[in-house]
A and B are shown apart, each in its own frame.
Chain A
């Protein structure tokens, strides 16, 4: 059974329909990369998976559970589905440790010492254990984004969503974030990414989803999709992304 099952999802903002019947399966351990022009609905789709946006039609299920913005156990659900944003969204008034342990300490009632161990553990996975006492403003963009990923990992999610996580970074900082994500992919984390990093899509993804005008236009393994794009839209997208 698929970990995420998206069936015929529609979504409008006012009179603009941004998702026009999207269907997609994501299996456990898959690395799914959603590509497409801006306005194609890819970020909206990602946000719908985490119930950050209400869908108008169709259904999304994650681990067999129907995802709705008014689902009864929304908070538990959100702890299982992590999301990392383009703008990091770290809490500026908290140290790196507090950013990571805030939710576990408040909701999983772990002890303070345990919290620090947890923070060190997830920070080690993103290579930033030495920054545990720093504040976000003292870190580079790439470091902040890695802390945001670590904060997500501390929730022990079953699925992670990445919404253009390298788009706000200076070019020389993109690599360190992508490397962390590659490591996570190797360790078997199920990941859904919206990205403009074609190299990452090509080399790490197990499935590419090309969205166009609110629809899944083409999908398949990267080697196949990049070598033989069937539609002129994907052909021109690949040509322009090079």
Chain B
């Protein structure tokens, strides 16, 4: 058996850093797209006009019940046929954003459903508009109640960005493949890549805990 040798990898540290940054960027871009879709989608599913509700339900079911890899291929290979041409990174951000958005819609909807109607009524009775009631009365406690679910979905998204390597987006996993073909050190390369993913996830978990601690300060009675 050959011995482990990490030394050769050292020459590729620039590529590793670059791949890590792209993974981060891809995660954040998809999360931003998906979060906006999620909040808007959840709000519309609850109180939008019927055709909109059906459209969103269809979108959520479609995304959640088909492989993400195929969704990625559709955005990257099929949409250009309709004139929507984009780079691998942009396609990955959009596909993963749509994927994250579908799960987010369900997560946020569950949070909104958990807010009793009497809270909405109290807001209306103070003369608030529908939007003001949603934004100030319903949304903050709803987000708090689904924050843990949102966090774990975000972790799945971060790990799922590795799929983007399949359309040659230059993220971390793709970088790993590149280094492997140069060094033939498969185990070492993927051990390092794995370690970076692990470190990223742990960092985000800490970050989310800190943000949650700051954003959701109000005490709850149990």
Contacts and interface: CB of A to CB of B under 8 A. Distances in A.
Interface of A: 50, 52, 75-76, 78-79, 82-83, 85, 87, 89-94, 102-103, 106-107, 135, 137-138, 151, 155
Nearest to A139: B221
Contacts of B221: 137
Contacts of B122: 85, 89-91
B206 interface: no
A106 B121 contact: no
A83 B125 contact: yes
Given A78-B126, A78-B127, A92-B141, 12 more contacts: A75-B128, A85-B118, A91-B119, A91-B136, A91-B137, A92-B218, A93-B218, A94-B218, A102-B136, A107-B127, A107-B128, A137-B218
A52 B124 CA distance: 9
B127 A137 contact: no
Which A-B residue pairs are the 9 nearest by beta carbons?
Answer: A89-B122, A103-B126, A79-B127, A137-B221, A75-B127, A137-B219, A93-B218, A78-B127, A93-B140
Interface string B133-145: 0001100110010
Interface of B: 118-119, 121-129, 132, 136-137, 140-141, 144, 216, 218-221
Given A93-B144, A94-B218, A135-B219, A75 B119 contact: no
A155 B119 CA distance: 18
Nearest to B221: A137
A138 B129 CA distance: 28
B contact face: mostly helix, strand, loop, or mixed: helix
Contacts of B123: 91
Contacts, number: 61
Contact of B126 (A87, A102, A137): A102
B126 A93 contact: no
A76 B125 contact: no
A183 to B, nearest CB: 22
Contact of A75 (B121, B129, B140, B141): B129
A20 B35 CA distance: 49
25 contacts: A52-B124, A78-B124, A78-B126, A79-B127, A82-B125, A85-B121, A85-B122, A87-B118, A89-B118, A91-B119, A91-B136, A91-B137, A92-B220, A93-B144, A93-B216, A93-B218, A94-B218, A102-B126, A103-B126, A135-B218, A135-B219, A137-B218, A137-B219, A137-B220, A138-B219
Given A87-B118, A89-B119, A137-B218, A50 B144 contact: no
Nearest to A106: B132
Contacts of A92: 141, 218, 220
Contacts of B128: 75, 102-103, 106-107
B2 to A, nearest CB: 59
Given A137-B221, A138-B219, A78 B144 contact: no
Contacts of A89: 118-119, 121-122
Nearest to A80: B127
A52 B125 contact: yes
A179 B119 CA distance: 26
A149 to B, nearest CB: 13
A76 B121 CA distance: 15
B136 A106 contact: yes
A83 B121 CA distance: 10
A4 to B, nearest CB: 16
Contacts of A155: 126-127
Contacts of A79: 126-127
Contacts of A87: 118
A76 B140 contact: no
Given A102-B136, A137-B219, A93 B125 contact: no
Contacts of A82: 125
B121 A103 contact: no
Contacts of A137: 218-221
B16 to A, nearest CB: 42
A50 B121 CA distance: 11
Nearest to B216: A93
